[in-house]
A and B are shown apart, each in its own frame.
Chain A
Amino acid sequence: KAGVTQTPRYLIKTRGQQVTLSCSPISGHRSVSWYQQTPGQGLQFLFEYFSETQRNKGNFPGRFSGRQFSNSRSEMNVSTLELGDSALYLCASSLPQKGGSYEQYFGPGTRLTVT
């Protein structure tokens, strides 16, 4: 089974621009979570989508948004980029099942650099 894929793998943007990152989950997985990883703050949860609905959101400003499509693929968007948005953005998918099987499988990440 193919793993979680993320595109693009690397991005360089300028302050004030916006960016869209894409995530394709493992086939059959319906939950997609997004995380930001930085040296200073570590791994922080951005949001989670299930069946095209955002069910959970972390403590990030409204510039960070996401969506999920009917095929479970997900995108996240960051508007008005700031230098502090430079990070590795990780997507994870899972097949949430009542009573177990909540593990998340991660993609390779998108490295975003804001200059």
Chain B
Amino acid sequence: AQSVTQPDIHITVSEGASLELRCNYSYGATPYLFWYVQSPGQGLQLLLKYFSGDTLVQGIKGFEAEFKRSQSSFNLRKPSVHWSDAAEYFCAVLAGGTSYGKLTFGQGTILTVHP
């Protein structure tokens, strides 16, 4: 069965600093990978996705992520963080085959941004 690990429960950065959120997955084949963001009391917003092709994918709000098959990782990055980026971030994997509609999520990383 597939699994997702986000090693960092909580990350604090200063506004304007760069950001990298880590995500490792476990799955036998090439999975579909996603990053979502959730603000308090809200649903999840899709930041970006990886299905195939170019391993560096661009998303909304200036985020990007790099798929590294050799490391089973899909880390999220942003060169300069804004105070409005403070939220919880989830990495997710969608397995193929008969895992219809089933996203498996990591435990999330809470991002705090200091002014």
Task: Give residues in A with beta carbon < 8 Å to B.
Answer: 4, 31-33, 35, 42-43, 45, 48-50, 55-56, 58, 90, 92, 94, 96, 100, 102-109, 111
Contact = CB atoms under 8 A, between A and B. Distances in A.
Interface residues of B, number: 26
B43 A106 contact: yes
B97 to A, nearest CB: 10
Interface of B: 32, 34, 36, 41-46, 49, 51-52, 90, 92, 94, 98-108
Contacts of A33: 101-103
B42 A104 contact: no
Contact of B102 (A42, A45, A107): A45
B102 A106 contact: no
A16 to B, nearest CB: 27
A69 B90 CA distance: 30
